Structure 1
Amino acid sequence: MYRFYLSIITTFLFITSFAQGKLDSLTQELNKLQHNSHLTGFAAAIIDKDGIVYAQGFGHANKEKNIPYTHQTVQPIASISKTILAVALMKAQELGKLNLDDNINNHLPFKIVNPNHPEKTITIRHLANHTSGILDGDSYERTYLFQTDIQPFYHKLSKEIRKDTKTLVELYNMNEIMSLEEFIKKQYVQGEIWYSDKHFSKKPPGRTYKYSNMGANIVAYIIEQAVEEDYRNFVQKHILNPLHMDNSGWRSEKYHPQNEATLYWYGYPIPESDLVTYPDGSFMTNTVDYGKFLSTMIQGYNGMDNILSHSSYIEMMKQPDSSDLKKGIFWSVNNTKIGHSGSDLGIVSHAYFLKQNNIGIIVFVNTSDTIDAMLEVRNIYRTTLKYTKQ
């Protein structure tokens, strides 16, 4: 049902609506940017409603082993994972399992109440557009789980950042595995070990935008409770399988990523990792698989029923009434584009499509916190954007 017509030549893909010479020029520009940057590796892609127009990797997936970063290289995509969560949420609503305007406590086996506004209802919609008043606290740093200890590379960093990085590395190396339910309860249920009034805004729900990773994780847990199924299985069934995203998922016994990139934090390799809060940021994919997803989103936004109904796309990607609010249902929406970005240890990512011409851009990078990293990634995105103007 969902077909993507891909012509693979060497390491990039194209369709006839984009001139070959134009794409060759893009490759040359991106090669130059990579060569002059502090980024270990990245991939960039251009998408339209029919599939992938261009996808190319640059630099290294693993510098020490001289493994190139290609369009097939898999890595976590940080907060772009929330676009998967958005679609899962809308699917659960379509199935009649929940409603965006439900009180969250109608679906939770415990109660979460803002102590500053105990009489105010927090809805699923509030969580999804980041106006719930549920805040990320210091305990969120306990989410990182590394397969082996991070080595003390911080000794090589400048004095200004060495101490804080050392503190984080030591914390990450002591983190313990726990369930998503336990992680949520410990922070937001009164009387639990990490609970604090500081985890809640003084503003009432629905009034003020404040980005919240933990709000997203509570939504994923609500989905699990409502559909009576593991969130990852629900996503596999309703998103990954229909779209043939065969190289995507969350690290688990069922999913062992192929062609996985090593992540570089401050330019130093870090061990493979996962998050206790996997729904908010540790979804793993590559530009080809996520390109299928983004192309499907473009189709749905423009009137096609596919993995969601068109009406669900319109609700999910509705532009907020105020520019201060910024989000639809997890998607960032403004006058010109719809999508999401992400950043985490060793990760910078961007995925957006333009309202004007329905062309999408994906940039996945396996490096963070190096000199000028954010500016260098922005230059990659803007260079790719320049080539979407036909």
Structure 2
Amino acid sequence: MNRRTFLRLLPAASLSPTQSQSQLKDLETQIPALLRSTNVPGLSLAVFKNSRIIWLQGFGVTDRASGTPVDSNTLFEAASMSKPVFAYLVLKLCEQGMLSLDTPLTTYTNRRLLEDDPRINRITARHILSHSSGLVPDWRSSDDPLRIASDPGERWSYSGEGYYYLQSVVNDLIGHTDPKQCGQFEAGVKVCATDFGESMQSRVITPLGMTSSGYVLNPDFAKRRARPHDANGNPLPYGTSRAIDLARYGAAGGLLTTPADYAKFLMQIIDPRPQDDHHLKTTQASS
């Protein structure tokens, strides 16, 4: 079952409270069978309506090796759902005048993501956030090097590399880099540690009240996180949250969170609180 099919099982916003509870009860009985049929060890799910969580359940186990049950406090790797949270920070920086959605990113940094394609000078934050920068592949490799495959703004092409680039520009504006703590990643790209996790915590996570979310692994998070598993349901090594890794992958996929906590972020988008130093305006300027 793919995600869209699963989402159709959730109650529609137009249903009455009684109808919603009935549909959720049906879903509660279906999920264990769905987990077995898809070989997924565990799942946690939050449903909210009118800025209030109306259903929160955990199913299965966090780790097939230990058998620890999933509950509402289990943290999961948000993977690419980390991108909207980073985008929130980018929009706030635009609102504060530190960045513009439509100014080329090379205006803000001396670093050159690519040296041999002048189109790099046309890529903007808007292109990155909308996956229309032209940067391919999603992540570079020795066999598939980073390049610009189409003019910025011309077409959609999913790009983790784009988010890495925008993250590095944001770090140049508001963060710090440790040149003594560096490593090599795909195709030999050199990345040095930054304070990305701390910046996201202070500027987005804490202000939005996401008390069970973060990028830096602390002892409490280590106890509560679910373990990754492969497509056959076999346990995999835990991901890391070293500062070097976060400098490379943090914006694209470094968030640890719970469904209830991520719901707080979504509720802020749907029904925003009044604007302040951390919360966005209800309307966003074009640049």
C-alpha separation in 2, matches of 1:53 and 1:284:
22
- Letter matched to residue 283 of structure 1: L
Of 266, 278, 282 in structure 1, the residue corresponding to residue 254 of structure 2 is: 282
Alignment match, 1:38: 39
Of 226, 234, 247 in structure 2, the residue corresponding to residue 268 of structure 1 is: 234
TM-score, length basis structure 2: 0.75
C-alpha separation in 2, matches of 1:21 and 1:207:
46
SS in 2 for 1:91: helix
Alpha-carbon distance, 1:40 to partner = 0.8
C-alpha separation in 2, matches of 1:253 and 1:41:
22
Alignment match, 2:265: 293
CA contact (8 A) 1:245 1:290 kept: yes
C-alpha separation in 2, matches of 1:125 and 1:84:
15
- Letter matched to residue 111 of structure 2: F
C-alpha separation in 2, matches of 1:119 and 1:224:
18
Is 1:217 matched up with 2:164?
yes
C-alpha separation in 1, matches of 2:45 and 2:78:
13
C-alpha separation in 2, matches of 1:103 and 1:255:
40
TM-score, length basis structure 1: 0.56
C-alpha separation in 1, matches of 2:120 and 2:35:
53
Is 1:236 matched up with 2:201?
yes
1:285–1:208 distance in 2 versus 1, CA, 3 Å:
same
C-alpha separation in 2, matches of 1:233 and 1:119:
29
Is 1:18 matched up with 2:17?
yes
Alpha-carbon distance, 1:86 to partner = 0.8
Alignment match, 1:99: 100
C-alpha separation in 2, matches of 1:205 and 1:249:
32
**Structure 2: runs of 5+ lacking an equivalent:** 1-15, 177-194
CA contact (8 A) 1:74 1:258 kept: no
C-alpha separation in 2, matches of 1:50 and 1:119:
41
C-alpha separation in 1, matches of 2:267 and 2:34:
26
C-alpha separation in 2, matches of 1:243 and 1:133:
32
Higher-RCO chain (CA-CA 8 Å, sequence separation at least 6): 1
- Letter matched to residue 92 of structure 1: L
Alignment match, 1:201: 148
1:22–1:127 distance in 2 versus 1, CA, 3 Å:
closer
CA contact (8 A) 1:105 1:112 kept: no
Q: Deviations over 1:314-366 (max 9, x none)?
A: 869xxxxxxxxxxxxxxxxxxxxxxxxxxxxxxxxxxxxxxxxxxxxxxxxxx
C-alpha separation in 1, matches of 2:274 and 2:286:
14
1:21–1:133 distance in 2 versus 1, CA, 3 Å:
closer
Alpha-carbon distance, 1:205 to partner = 1.4
CA contact (8 A) 1:74 1:284 kept: yes
C-alpha separation in 1, matches of 2:22 and 2:150:
54
Alignment match, 2:282: 310
Q: Where in structure 2 are the equivalents of 1:130-169 lying within 5 Å?
A: 130-136=131-137, 139=140
1:28–1:222 distance in 2 versus 1, CA, 3 Å:
same
**Structure 1: runs of 5+ lacking an equivalent:** 1-16, 141-193, 317-390
SS in 1 for 2:122: coil
1:315–1:24 distance in 2 versus 1, CA, 3 Å:
farther
Alpha-carbon distance, 1:253 to partner = 5.6
1:262–1:296 distance in 2 versus 1, CA, 3 Å:
same
Alignment match, 1:55: 56
C-alpha separation in 2, matches of 1:111 and 1:237:
28
Greater per-residue strand proportion: 1
Alpha-carbon distance, 1:198 to partner = 4.5
Q: Where in structure 2 are the equivalents of 1:338-357 lying within 5 Å?
A: none
Alpha-carbon distance, 1:305 to partner = 4.3
C-alpha separation in 1, matches of 2:283 and 2:219:
33
Task: State the number of aligned residues.
Answer: 244
1:218–1:308 distance in 2 versus 1, CA, 3 Å:
same
C-alpha separation in 1, matches of 2:106 and 2:215:
27
SS in 2 for 1:57: strand
Alignment match, 1:340: none
C-alpha separation in 1, matches of 2:259 and 2:208:
14
Alpha-carbon distance, 1:82 to partner = 0.1
C-alpha separation in 2, matches of 1:244 and 1:310:
18
